[in-house]
Every structure is written in structure tokens, then in C-alpha cells.
Structure 1
């Protein structure tokens, strides 16, 4: 049985308040948000929440200050602490203050939902069952804590309250449709239809009929008037997948619909007013298609109001194990045997290149849930399921070598005596390692800062600032012709 309650979310990042608040509301909770200790103090009595979710670093002080006093006044309250200061000291302080749970940022929404469920006494939330407070199967399906995915989450949060057109970019299998579903299900159009159409899967001569509908007798086989995807999505969201495969003639008509807000069916003469949000997606380089006269530049500008770039799975390896376990949990919820990963299997998953991205990982976990005879999936089982030429036999060696180099450097620095250190060890190490990482990453993508930022898991502005701080010129990092 689902247990719901009243939740107060305190964080000075509006994006976090919006996404967390909407996700918890969809689970049936009543949610209020605040951005400071002062607002928290004003709301704690009037809202009388069952669960308080609070950040540590707030604009007017330490979010942990006052928690003990709140719990003395409200002994039935459960406190969940969030913090980007992912240190042991923060976790200890949260525990000492009486927090029910401590989650380091970046956190996963499913994990937070389970923590809220536990705090409300729903029980057995760790099994991931929807009835125990986890996000539903058709809820927010995006999983990841990497900086690159956190940037995606922030962008999603910023577009929920408006109807701007969105262009989702990324390789096949990265989850572009999941992004569109998340924007729709958390946004202001969530009670209306979500309609998806894949341009690459429809014969060119039928695309206009599918999109705009057709009248009876418009062509052979048109026996009744049929509404197109625009009309089917009325009031909701229309997801145009693989937009780069759309024929030029259909692009022209699509642009006219986006400009006028009216659709005329194939064979019809009377326009129909439509109100839909457009989210398009592609794995192709649209600017290159524009140069080749295969995609309309004016349509590109109309669709690309807010771009969202999804990183390839190899660019966010820290999410691989989280995703793998998520898919194994989903498989168990669907009735397949419950499986776990051994440590050596987890290392092998991290080393793999994942050309098929998240979709490939999902398919692999489902296959192993069926075929593995053991409850624990070992590395040998994985080796039999992955292309051998893509899995290096010494997959753990590079990380081990880097770790040993850092260990020896730290010991040498500490050996000179702490009293003689004039600067932070952390800053000294970054000053040595980070410029090399930036240079090598930019060189690998011929100086392309957008691609380099994606590989590094940071946004482009952060990359530019770091380059400026270190005096690095990206133009000098292009590969010579």
C-alpha cells in the first residue's frame, strides 16, 4: 500500500526544488518548498510536514543548524539531509543532529523517493516496488548522478514551466525519448497526451499523412477521415524523433504548422487549430545537414530553442553501475530472477566502451537476468556476453596506475612536513593534473569545446573558465591536418 505524506523541501537551487517537488507530488505527496533557513522556520509550523528534506549550504547559514531543535519540538518528523559537501564530516554531523537519512549530491530521484518512503514508514522500499514509494515504471526513467546528467536535469527543470521548443541531441540509445517523456510527465501538460512519431520508421510518402492526418478519399485506402499526430497530441506534447531523417517537403509543411499553429489534413482545405508542445530529437549533425541542403535552416532555428545534449554512456562511466543495478531491479519487478553484480563484473562493465549506450546496457542486464544460473553475475559471464575485442584484459590497470601515482605524490608532499606547506594539497594536485586532462581531452576532439565539455562532464562555460584560468588556448589543441 502506498504511504503518502506532507513534505517540505528546502534548497536554494530552484531547479532542485522544482524537480524534487514535482517528482514527489506525482507519488501522491503534498510538497512545499523553501530556499532559506528563514523560510524553513516560517513554514515548519504552518505546513507541519511529515518529512523535511533540507540542503546544508543555504544562503543564510548552515542547514543543519536548528535541525536538532526542530526535532525536539516535532518528534514525529523525519529529516533527510542533502549536501554537495560529500564529506564524512557532513554525514557524521547529519547523523548527530538526528537526521533520518543523508544523501550526497548529486543524488538519484529514485533513491530520494525510497528514502521518503522509508521515512514515512512504507517499509520494503529497497525492493523498488512502486507500491513502496519508488518512482513508477512510467514515471521519471532517467537515472544518473554524473555531472553531465545533472546538467541535463537542470535544463529539464528550467523548461517545465514553459512551452519552448526543445531539441534533444545524442547518439542512438542514450535515452532521448526518455528525456521527452520526463519533460512531459513533470510539466504543465502532463494531463494531456504524449504522442511520439519516429521519422526514420515511416515511408517518406506517408509522413505528412501521419503528422497532419488525411480526409476520406485523399488517397487509395483512405476510407475515413483520420486525425494526424498533431491533432492526437492536442493540448499535450508531440515528440518528433529522428527529425534529421524528415524529407525536405515535409519539413516545409512542418515549419508552416509551427509558425501558424494550424494543421490542414492531406486532402483537406479547412485548417484545424492545434496547441501542442514540440520536442524533437536526432542523432545527426543538423548544421552539417543544413550545409548539404538536406535540412531547413529556418526549421532548425524553430526547433532548437532549448537544446539538450545527452552524453554517451562512455562519457559518464560513473553512472554505468547505477544504471546496471537499476535495470536488474526493473527486471526483478517484471518477474525475472533477482540478480546482483560481483565487484569484478562491475569493473568490467566500467571498462566496456558501450557503443549501443544505455539501451545496450539495459538489454544486457535483461539477458543476464534470464540466462545467468547464479544469483550473482560474475565477470566470466559478462565476458561471454560482450565482444572480446572491446574489453581490455587489463581493464583495471590504468586506474590502478593513476591511483598509485597520486598516492606516491601525496606521500612525498606530506613528507616535507605539514607546517611547511604554503598551499592546499588539493589545489596543488589539480594544478598538475587538470591542465593535462583538459589538453588531452580537447586534442582528442580537435579542439571542439562542446564535445570536450561533454566528455569531461562539465558545461561549456565551466570549461572556458578553466582554460582561461590555466592560460590554455583551445585553438592550439587542434589536430594538425
Structure 2
């Protein structure tokens, strides 16, 4: 039975070509020949050549072997995974040593013994397989280092809205169906994609992500499909694309709605054919991926407006998972707050807790940036807070503007209770509601409470529903 493998024999002596081909084709599936070394590059590009049996002298009466060294260097520069066995009628030990140093796998003298040539070629194929494994592992490692990000947060939720999401993820993950995750920015679409991958039968393989909105048009194919050395100006080495990195695993394409129409066609072809070709390459590569896409765009509307291909939409959303915004899952805010507080306290080596009034403030805020904004607020608060207690008021007040009272009422959002109970005859300027900036609101409420209770901090804190410690922090913050 013939072994899998392809051999190229290069020699200007037709008798040598015929003799070698007749012998080797009895043992290997593909044996091709050429008497012109200038054909080598084309033949390597057209088919996967694993071993080359290369003559060292192509000019009449040449015995130095310099031509063989030249073509050896050229072959290895084109494809370093190819194994080259040099042969010459003028063999000597020094020439063999120089050949090995130059990158040849082995050296054989003509005329050869058939058993000897077969042994050398068999060793060459074993070497070729080892080189291919090492090169593939090296390229994949470099690609993974480039593609993988730092540790992701956990995908959390206890609200009924999130329980529905978890249930859909569980059902979808059991299949290899393509998944489209939709939702506002900051709702945790990448975390949901990770959850799908971890719950699937591909969980032991790679999870590779790519933000489609962040890559330049000129680099689109290189990022997805990889490129060969010299394919363009900055292609100084072969690079493995995200499709190949995700082989047998999951590929997550974020913000897919930002993809131009021309690139949508390229992506669709790769998904349909389950093959990719690196930029500058000629040989297609089979890929087996689980595709997960995400967007905050309304893709059906984009299809209607001719900004997104309908056939691509059908291809990517076999199952659609909608992530609710944080304002629709208020029950999850305490859980998320405690999670991020623990995470960032550990990261910044702080020991902080959160008081009920600050937790209430977080639950009442509208969170236009969703979970991402909540995480950012907790992180900044951990960094800036003093006295062992988290102070989120200053961070929210300094960096965000909440909804006006009318907007909040229209949307059913609860406003913070600033009545200071019934003990205070609030002379608070109603213009506060025009912008409803929490920092200004807090400062005026504290000042009004102190004025009403004639500077008694304990009574003012009680009227505001604050502890004495929380009250003193606000007095210090507002310089009152």
C-alpha cells in the first residue's frame, strides 16, 4: 500500500528522473519531476510538496555543488516546512557536512542503492511531519498570543430575564448551530459568547474573538484568514488567521454590523465553503469552527436599508440570544456590584465594603452603559474611596448625568428619594431637576439638612438616611 506524501525530484539528467520516479512511485502516492530548477517555486505553490530530492549540479561538468546550495536556500525561504535531500555524483564528506549545515535533511551520492534511497526518503517524510507540527504549533502559539485577551469576568445574573438567557444558551450550546447575540453596548455579549463556548462540546478547544469594527479594511482578510510572508509590505512572516486559530473551537466575531458589504461577501464565502485561503497563498485550508456573532445593530433593519446581506444574516443567526439592558434586570445590580467590588478590591489590594445608601443609588441609576459602565464605576470607586467604605456617589456624579425627572417618569425609572423625609422644609432649587446631576443634588441636600438641623450632623445624617460615617465623608467631599 502506498504511503501518503508528495515528492518532487529535480535533476537535469532524464535517466535519473525516470529511475527515481519509477522506484519512489511504488511507495508514495505523489511523485513529480522536473529537469528545470526554475520550475520549483511554481510546483511548490501548485501542490503540497513535502520532500524534494534535489541535484546539486545543473551545468555541464559542474562539480562544486554551489547550484544545489543556491536552490536549497531558495526552497527553504519559500517554504521552510519542505524537507530537501541533496544528491550528487561527486560526493565527499565535506560536501555532505556543508549540505546539512545549509538546511538539507540528508545527502545521497549517485548512483544510489535502492534500499538506501528509500531509507533516506522515509526519514525525510518523518522529518517533514515533525517540521510541520512544530511550525503549526509555533504559528498557532504566536496567533493565540495575539488574539487572546486577559481573563474575562464571569457571566452573572439572577433575574428572570437572565434566567431565560441562560436557558437559551444551554440549549444552543448542545448543538453546533451558529449563534447571533444581540443587545445594547455593554450588556456582556462577549461574556455570553464565552458561556456558549464553555457549555459546548468544543470547550476544550480555543475560543478566538475579533472585534470587526476595530480592523482596517485593508487588514480584514489578513486578520481572518492569515497571510504568507511577503504577501504585502508589512508581512515579514507567515501569520495564522483567526479562522485557523479557532479550528475545532469557537470563533466570536463582535460588532458584526460594522462590516462593509464587500467584506460581508468574503465572510459568507468562507462560511459556506468552510475553507479559507491566506493572503498571498494559493492552497485552501479546511476549517471547522463554531461561529458566534454579536451586534448592537438592528440587522433586519440594516438588511432593509441594504447595509447588510440577507443571506449572511440567515447564515449567522440560526439561534438568536438577546441580552437585556441593565435597567431591565435591576435585581442583578447588587449581585454584580458585590462581584466587581470583590474583584477590584483584590486587584488594587483594598479592603472595602458598600453601604446600603450607596447600593440603593446604584439600583436607581439608569445605567446607559449597562454592565460595562457599572464595572467601570466600581473600579474607579475602589481606587478613589477612603475609610474602608465604597463611595460611588462622587464617581457617578462626576462622570455621568442621570435622566431628568420627566424622562425618568416617562420611562418608569424610580428617582432617588430626596425629600429628606418630612422633617425638612426643602428650599432646594427646582432647577436641580433640570439636569438632575447627582453630585449637585447631593451637595444641596446635605447643605439643606444641616441648615434645617442647625448644624447637628447626627440629626442631619438621620434625616438623610445616612450613617454618621457616610455623612462625614460627604461633608469632606463637598467641603461643608
Give a deviation string over 1:104-123, Cα, whole Å, max 9, x none: xxxxxxxxxxxxxxxxxxxx
Aligned residue pairs, count: 265
CA contact (8 A) 1:348 1:391 kept: no
Verify: 1:312 aligned to 2:325, yes or no: yes
State the Cα deviation string for residues 366-419 of structure 1 (Å, max 9, x = none): 111111102223564455445354486982459xxxxxxxxxxxxxxxxxxxxx
Matched, 1:212 2:225: yes
1:376 aligned counterpart, secondary structure: coil
Q: Cα gap change, 1:263/1:226 in structure 2, threshold over 3 Å: closer, same or farther? A: same
**Does residue 260 of structure 2 align to residue 240 of structure 1?**
no
The answer to whether structure 1 residue 301 and structure 2 residue 321 are counterparts is no
Task: Determine the structure 1 residue equivalent to 2:337.
Answer: 324
Q: Structure 1 residues 332 and 230 mapped into 2: Cα distance closer, same or farther (>3 Å)?
A: same
SS of alignment partner, residue 312 of structure 2: helix
Q: Answer with 219-228 or 143-152: which moved more.
A: 219-228
What is the RMSD computed on CA atoms of the aligned residues? 2.6
**Which residue of 157, 177, 192 corresponds with 1:144?**
157
Check 1:148–1:334 CA distance in 2 against 1; reply closer, same or farther (3 A cut).
same
Matched residue SS, 1:377: coil
Indicate the SS of the match to 1:196.
strand
Tell me what 2:204 maps to: 191
SS at match of 1:216: coil
Task: Give, in whole Å, the separation in 2 of the partners of 1:380 and 1:268.
Answer: 56
Distance change in 2, residues 1:336/1:363 (3 Å)? farther
Change (3 A) 1:379 1:247: closer
> How far does residue 164 in structure 1 lie from its aligned partner after superposition?
0.6
CA distance in 2, matches of 1:224, 1:383: 47
Q: How does 1:441-452 map to 2 (within 5 A)?
A: none
In 1, Cα distance between equivalents of 2:214 and 2:153? 26
The corresponding residue for 1:395 is 415
Q: Distance in 2 between matches of 1:165 and 1:388?
A: 39
- Structure 1 residues 360 and 236: CA distance shift in structure 2, 3 A: same
Report the equivalent of 1:344.
357
Alpha-carbon contact 2:367-2:374 (below 8 Å) kept: yes
Match of 2:177 among 164, 167, 171: 164
1:174 to 173, 187, 196: 187
Give TM-score, length-normalised by structure 2: 0.52
Structure-2 change in CA distance of 1:379 and 1:332 (3 Å): closer
Q: Is the 8 A contact 1:170 1:282 kept in 2?
A: yes
Q: Find 2:381's aligned residue among 368, 373, 376.
A: 368
SS in 2 for 1:332: helix
Query: Compared with structure 1, are the counterparts of its residues 198 and 379 closer, same or farther at alpha carbon in structure 2 (3 Å cutoff)?
Result: closer
TM-score (norm 1): 0.52
For 1:280-295, list aligned pairs within 5 A: 280-295=293-308
The separation in 2 between residues aligned to 1:182 and 1:252, in whole angstroms, is 28
For 1:186 and 1:337, the matched residues in 2 are separated by: 34
8 A contact 2:303–2:310 mirrored in 1: yes
Distance, in Å, in 2 between the alignment partners of 1:382 and 1:215 is 48
Q: Flag the 1:276–1:381 CA change in 2: closer, same or farther, 3 A.
A: same
- In structure 1, how many angstroms separate the alpha carbons of the residues matched to 2:230 and 2:401? 56
Which among 262, 267, 286 is matched to residue 254 of structure 1?
267
Query: Do the aligned residues in 2 keep the contact of 1:344 with 1:379 (CA within 8 Å)?
Result: no
Alpha-carbon distance between aligned partners in 2 of 1:391 and 1:171, rounded to the nearest angstrom: 21
- Kindly report which structure 2 residues correspond to 1:8-19, keeping only aligned pairs within 5 A, or say none: none
1:275 equivalent among 288, 294, 298: 288
Gaps of 5+ in 1: 1-136, 399-481
Deviation per CA, 1:198-241: give whole Å up to 9, x if none: 11111111111110112233222223322211001111111001
Q: Does the 8 Å CA contact 2:186/2:373 hold for their aligned counterparts?
A: yes
Q: How far apart, in 2, do the equivalents of 1:352 and 1:145 lie? A: 19
* Cα distance in 1 between the residues matched to 2:324 and 2:218: 33
Q: Whole-Å Cα distance in 2 between the matches of residues 344 and 249 of structure 1? A: 52
Shift of 1:175: 0.5
Q: Give the direction of change, closer, same or farther, for the CA distance of 1:234–1:342 in structure 2 (3 Å limit).
A: same
The answer to whether the 8 A contact 1:342-1:376 is kept is yes
Determine if contact 1:199/1:242 at 8 Å carries over to the other structure: yes
Which structure has the greater CA radius of gyration?
2
Deviation at 1:140, TM superposition (A): 7.2
The 3 A distance-change label for structure 1 pair 385 and 339 is farther
